[in-house]
Structure 1
């Protein structure tokens, strides 16, 4: 039998209800549960949260409806990162891009229209996605 070394685990809260992977929708800040995960997945557990993905705006990069996304609030957002953006008070998953010296929020689903941030929207970055937990089972 193969011996698997014990690795330190950390407890990360699962935020609810879910986070929109599409166009923003209201979401309350509350924890549904907590999950023990390896520390290497969440090196800063006090700034780490799990969100259930709701929507399909990031399917072209492998983030699907129902996945669990580990988000780290201590990471600095950089071009190409998947981020939790708060747009007019509503959380949404987007990819951060820089074009012509300006920061843009984009989606990754060829079947959906491009995402446009409203001109006078209040936008902030809540956290950066560190990893995605995706089930390989067919429902």
Structure 2
């Protein structure tokens, strides 16, 4: 058990500002994960993804991309030009010159939903 106190006094507004600035800068957007292909890296269906459009993609980053008209969340294998799942049941996607492909951003954080929120869909 962890014993700690959370001050809910006047300082809470400062915390809200800091979280807004670090989680939701101008270059970030939120997406919802769907499916089981990224469970191996701790992203589960229904999780919210914080995606940074300004982050430079590095080999091994978890990214969100549009691939042939569909949003996908995958691991970027820049050395082999592949999109990888974190589930061994899914085959790697080899990108070719025929694919319409655009990286939307790097997943910097994921948020697990513990209670259904109808407003989020």
Q: TM-score w.r.t. structure 1 length? A: 0.66
Gaps of 5+ in 1: 11-36
Query: Could you tell me how far 1:127 is from its partner in structure 2?
Result: 0.7
* More helix as a share of residues: 2
Query: Could you tell me how far 1:74 is from its partner in structure 2?
Result: 0.7
The ranges of structure 1 where at least 4 consecutive aligned residues each deviate by more than 6 angstroms after the TM superposition are: none
Name the residue aligned to 1:66.
46
Query: Could you tell me how far 1:103 is from its partner in structure 2?
Result: 2.5
Name the residue aligned to 2:68.
88
* In 1, Cα distance between equivalents of 2:75 and 2:109: 14
Give the SS at the match of 1:39.
Answer: helix
Rg (Cα) greater in structure: 2
Query: Could you tell me how far 1:135 is from its partner in structure 2?
Result: 3.3
Q: 1:41 to 1:117 in 2, by over 3 A?
A: same
Name the residue aligned to 1:48.
28
Name the residue aligned to 1:18.
none
* In 2, Cα distance between equivalents of 1:94 and 1:116: 9
* In 2, Cα distance between equivalents of 1:136 and 1:41: 19
Q: TM-score w.r.t. structure 2 length? A: 0.74
Cα-to-partner distance string for 1:53-101 (whole Å, 9 max, x where unaligned):
11110001100000000001011111111101111122110100133xx
Query: Could you tell me how far 1:118 is from its partner in structure 2?
Result: 5.6
Name the residue aligned to 2:90.
113
Alignment length, in residue pairs?
106
RMSD in angstroms over aligned alpha carbons?
2.2
* More strand as a share of residues: 1
